[in-house]
């Protein structure tokens, strides 16, 4: 019992002071006036130099949004958001004419350096070996600072193989037809309250197009950073994997520590055509608020992938450790025959965090398969909910799904909940779902401690084993980072 008591005690003592990305960078920024009305939408569109159809699209979304109400079905509680008290656009000044990384505000570069993000492509291209002997990994990065993308690396090299990787605002100018063809086809403008808001005011995000038969030569990555006070971040990511192509994409998110809550409402759309594969990984580490639940990011994200072609595959992997509120359901529409959807998730909540996350697998094509592995760890006074839906259409013969969601509770003040929905409309459907909730067994801890591990190490060992299934799915560069993040999030309880 002592070990558990200690753990509980430690968890109580953990403060989010350990959030090491909580610094703020002082940079002059260019903001839209506070509040949201039609002129804000026009302002953002004009700032981006968007084509006329895009403005019309945004205005349509804004009109629709005004008729919608915030959804309340998720198991999260938060004070009402005043949508008029936010800045919808904030950009570091002097942004437009960037020709090379050298012109980026050194403050921003310093910020990313602090975050440990390898922006300096020159260094990598030169094959520099650092003093400590490590070779910088080859990951193309798009860094989004508040509302705009500040730097995209490896662009030229990617171009050689035909891969387009650039801020979506740039893509709208350079490849308007491509964007127009796919934007909003997975998450329609009218999809839900937050997605509609995003459609009206999104400012930047990444755009990826992988041409037919190309295997993207390196990992693509985006780092999102909310810096300004009172700003909402609304990014939009659109990834298209054309026939027979492959791409792996990672995103990471951080924000400064602030007393007030900040809003993040992103939309991610993935489209996989015939035989294509997209692997999308997220390490979400927004500021979670302090131990009393003050501050922190409200994370309302709509992520959806469309396996549009035959034999296509979309895989979501997420490690969720941050945000005061997480409302996020990366989903797959399995439209193409023989397509496959995967969802691997680790959601860790501590302090007063509230997580309501899960997935939707919608089986429409024939012989489609999906796999859902979700691991939730709740500590402190947090609430951690898995909410998922698996459905088969009448004509979706031989659909298969396997779902496994396990929850681990650390301390008796937290809650873990599972809300799965299974809807089978075809007799050849095979759905299997299992879920368990438990605490770390005394026997296991005793066994480890008997062999000389400290109580903390024993818990760490068990937790690592618990999430291993998911960590294995992350690209190597991220797996290490994610593992560290898990340790930080549960520090005190897992050592």
Partner 1 sequence: MNAEIRHIKTSAETGLAQEFAAARAKLPGQGAVAALRDTAFARFDAKGLPHRRVEEWKYTDLRALMRDARPLAPAPDQAGKARAAKAGQLMSDVDVCRIVFADGVLVPELSDLVGLEPGLSIRSMAQALGSADPLVARHLGQVFPSDDAALALNTALMGDGALIEISDGATMSRPIHLVFATVSETPVAIFPRSLVVIGKGARATLIESHEGPDAVGHQCNAALELIVADGAEVEHIKLTTGASETLHISTLMASLGADVRFNSFAFTTGLAVVRNQVFLRFDGAGTKAGIRGASLLRGKQHADTTLVIDHAQGGCESRELFKSVLDDEARGVFQGKIIVRQHAQKTDGKMMANALLLSDDAEADSKPELEIFADDVVCGHGSTVGALNEDLRFYLMARGVPKHEAESLLIQAFVGEAVEFVADEIVRDALMEAAVRWLAERG
With CB under 8 A as the contact rule, the residue among 55, 59, 68, 178 that binds partner 1 is: 68
Q: Which is nearer to partner 1, 112 or 298 (CB)?
A: 298
Q: Which is nearer to partner 1, 362 or 416 (CB)?
A: 416
Q: Is 433 in the site for partner 1 (CB under 8 A)?
A: yes
Which token pair is 213?
Answer: 């038969």
Q: Which is nearer to partner 1, 32 or 195 (CB)?
A: 195
Site map 352..391 versus partner 1, x via CB under 8 A: ----------------------------------------
Q: Which stretch binds partner 1 (CB under 8 A): 93-101, 210-218, 251-259, 402-410?
A: 402-410
CB of residue 50 to partner 1, shortest distance in Å:
27
Which token pair is 36?
Answer: 């949201």
DSSP 466-484: HHHHHHTTS-HHHHHHHHH
Q: Which is nearer to partner 1, 266 or 377 (CB)?
A: 377
Q: Is 443 in the site for partner 1 (CB under 8 A)?
A: no
With CB under 8 A as the contact rule, the residue among 55, 422, 453, 461 that binds partner 1 is: 422
Q: Which stretch binds partner 1 (CB under 8 A): 166-174, 243-251, 351-359, 416-424?
A: 416-424
Strand partners, 378: 349, 409
Q: Which stretch binds partner 1 (CB under 8 A): 98-106, 199-207, 277-285, 434-442?
A: 434-442
Q: Is 444 in the site for partner 1 (CB under 8 A)?
A: no
Find out whether 253 and 322 touch, Cβ atoms under 8 Å. yes
Within a 10 A sphere around the Cβ of 468, how many other Cβ atoms? 12
Find out whether 239 and 280 touch, Cβ atoms under 8 Å. yes
End-to-end Cα separation, the chain, in angstroms? 18
Residue of 378, 405, 373 whose CA lies nearest to 473: 373
Which token pair is 242?
Answer: 């054309």
The count of C-alpha atoms lying within 13 angstroms of the C-alpha of 100, restricted to the half-sphere facing its C-beta, is: 4
Q: Which stretch binds partner 1 (CB under 8 A): 144-152, 186-194, 348-356, 447-455?
A: 186-194
Within a 10 A sphere around the Cβ of 85, how many other Cβ atoms? 12
CB of residue 1 to partner 1, shortest distance in Å:
11
Q: Which is nearer to partner 1, 67 or 134 (CB)?
A: 67
The position carrying tokens 């024939």 is 366
Q: Is 130 in the site for partner 1 (CB under 8 A)?
A: no
CB of residue 82 to partner 1, shortest distance in Å:
18
CB of residue 10 to partner 1, shortest distance in Å:
14
State the number of binding residues for partner 1 (CB under 8 A). 42
Residues 6+ apart with CB under 8 A from 392: 363, 399, 423, 424, 425, 426, 429, 431
CB of residue 402 to partner 1, shortest distance in Å:
10
Find out whether 370 and 333 touch, Cβ atoms under 8 Å. no
Q: Is 413 in the site for partner 1 (CB under 8 A)?
A: yes
Find out whether 335 and 299 touch, Cβ atoms under 8 Å. no
Find out whether 120 and 63 touch, Cβ atoms under 8 Å. no
CB of residue 42 to partner 1, shortest distance in Å:
25
Q: Which is nearer to partner 1, 122 or 428 (CB)?
A: 428
Angle at 208 between CA 202 and CA 211, to 5 degrees: 150
By CB under 8 A, the residues from 192 to 221 that bind partner 1 are 192-193
For 34-70, b where at least 16 C-beta lie within 10 A, e where not — what string? eebeeebbebbbebbebeeebbebbeebbebbeeeee
Name the phi and psi angles at 12, rounded to 5. Answer: -65, -35
Q: Which stretch binds partner 1 (CB under 8 A): 208-216, 239-247, 291-299, 437-445?
A: 437-445
By CB under 8 A, the residues from 321 to 350 that bind partner 1 are none
CB of residue 365 to partner 1, shortest distance in Å:
16
With CB under 8 A as the contact rule, the residue among 46, 128, 430, 480 that binds partner 1 is: 430
DSSP reduced 3-state for 464: helix
With CB under 8 A as the contact rule, the residue among 81, 98, 101, 419 that binds partner 1 is: 419
Find out whether 294 and 323 touch, Cβ atoms under 8 Å. no
Within a 10 A sphere around the Cβ of 388, how many other Cβ atoms? 25
Find out whether 191 and 61 touch, Cβ atoms under 8 Å. no
With CB under 8 A as the contact rule, the residue among 42, 180, 439, 483 that binds partner 1 is: 439
With CB under 8 A as the contact rule, the residue among 20, 114, 425, 484 that binds partner 1 is: 425
Q: Which is nearer to partner 1, 69 or 130 (CB)?
A: 69
CA–CA distances in Å: residue 487 to residues 2, 483, 495:
22, 6, 7
With CB under 8 A as the contact rule, the residue among 436, 454, 472, 480 that binds partner 1 is: 436
Q: Which is nearer to partner 1, 45 or 493 (CB)?
A: 493
- Please give the residue ranges that form the binding site for partner 1 (CB under 8 A): 67-71, 73, 190, 192-193, 394, 407, 409-439
């Amino acid at each position: 019992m002592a070990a558990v008591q200690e753990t509980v005690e430690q968890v109580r003592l953990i403060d989010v002071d350990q959030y090491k990305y909580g610094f703020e960078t002082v940079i002059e920024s260019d903001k839209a006036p506070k509040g949201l009305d039609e002129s804000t939408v026009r302002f953002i569109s004009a700032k981006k130099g968007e084509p006329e159809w895009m403005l019309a699209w945004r205005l349509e979304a804004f009109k629709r949004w005004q008729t919608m109400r915030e959804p309340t079905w998720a198991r999260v509680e938060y004070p009402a958001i005043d949508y008029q008290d936010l800045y919808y656009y904030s950009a570091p000044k002097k942004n437009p004419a960037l020709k090379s990384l050298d012109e980026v505000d050194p403050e921003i570069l310093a910020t990313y350096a602090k975050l440990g993000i390898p922006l300096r492509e020159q260094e990598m291209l030169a094959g520099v070996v650092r003093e400590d002997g490590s070779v910088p990994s080859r990951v193309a990065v798009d860094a989004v600072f508040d509302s705009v993308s500040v730097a995209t690396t490896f662009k030229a090299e990617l171009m050689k193989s035909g891969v387009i990787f650039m801020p979506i605002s740039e893509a709208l100018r350079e490849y308007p037809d491509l964007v127009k063809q796919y934007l909003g086809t997975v998450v329609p403008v009218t999809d839900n309250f937050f997605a509609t808001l995003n459609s009206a005011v999104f400012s930047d995000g990444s755009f990826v197009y992988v041409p037919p038969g190309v295997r993207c030569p390196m990992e693509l990555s985006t780092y999102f950073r909310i810096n300004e006070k009172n700003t909402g971040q609304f990014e939009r990511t659109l990834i298209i994997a054309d026939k027979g192509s492959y791409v792996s994409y990672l995103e990471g998110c951080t924000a400064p520590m602030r007393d007030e809550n900040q809003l993040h409402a992103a939309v991610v759309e993935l489209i996989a055509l015939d035989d294509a594969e997209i692997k999308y990984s997220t390490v979400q580490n927004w500021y979670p608020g302090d131990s009393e639940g003050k501050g922190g990011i409200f994370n309302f994200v709509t992520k959806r992938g469309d396996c549009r072609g035959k034999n296509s595959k979309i895989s979501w992997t997420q490690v969720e450790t941050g945000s005061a509120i997480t409302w996020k359901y990366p989903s797959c529409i399995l439209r193409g025959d023989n397509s496959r959807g995967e969802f691997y998730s680790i959601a860790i909540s501590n302090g007063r965090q509230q997580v309501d996350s899960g997935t939707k697998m919608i089986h429409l094509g024939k012989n489609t398969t999906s796999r859902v592995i979700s691991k939730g760890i709740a500590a402190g006074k947090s609430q951690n909910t898995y909410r998922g839906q698996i459905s088969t259409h009448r004509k979706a013969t031989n659909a298969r799904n396997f779902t496994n969601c396990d929850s681990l509770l650390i301390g008796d003040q937290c809650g873990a909940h599972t809300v799965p929905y299974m809807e089978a409309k075809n007799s050849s459907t095979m759905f299997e779902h299992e879920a368990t909730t438990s605490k770390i067994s005394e026997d296991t801890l005793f066994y480890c401690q008997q062999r000389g591990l400290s109580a903390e190490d024993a818990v760490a060992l068990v937790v690592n084993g618990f999430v291993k299934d998911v960590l294995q799915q992350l690209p190597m560069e991220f797996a290490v980072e994610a593992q560290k993040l898990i340790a930080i999030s549960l520090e005190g309880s897992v050592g």
